[in-house]
Amino acid sequence: MGWYSKHYLNNLLWQRLKSFQIQFAPILQIIFNGWSVKAEHTADQAGLIACKDVNSAVISLLKLAGGTNIEKEVDISKIINSPDKQEEILSSFVEYLSAHPFIENRIRQLINFASTGKF
């Protein structure tokens, strides 16, 4: 299975919970969004485990975010080899208000996971 199919399978649970979430108060939305951000990172890791190639996983994430021609517009090696940036508190808070993590954070987390050798 490729990266996208594993990622998709891991997101099915989130889609089921999202329909359940609509019925409850907005405070639960913040809780579920925090979980959703973590679930997206886990789904990204599952995709990396499936494809066993960091470059392919990063390219797949970029294509999801920016379209199929993103490889022509972005230097993948600069993204993968860029140094870690400190997360800003406000950025992290805003990210948890949305259902998906920022693409830069997803890529950074995926690269960090790949460097641990757990996959």
Q: Where are the domains of the chain?
A: 3-116
Which of 10-14, 55-59, 97-101 has the least mean pLDDT? 10-14
pLDDT at 110 over 60: yes
Q: 3-class secondary structure for 15-35? A: HHHHHHHCCCCHHHHHHHHHH
* pTM for the structure as a whole: 0.68
Q: What pLDDT score was predicted for residue 48?
A: 92
- What is the Cβ-side half-sphere exposure of residue 11, based on CA atoms within 13 angstroms? 14
CA pair distance 72, 58, nearest whole angstrom:
14
pLDDT digits (tens, 9 = 90+) for 13-49: 667 666 665 666 667 777 777 788 888 889 999 999 9
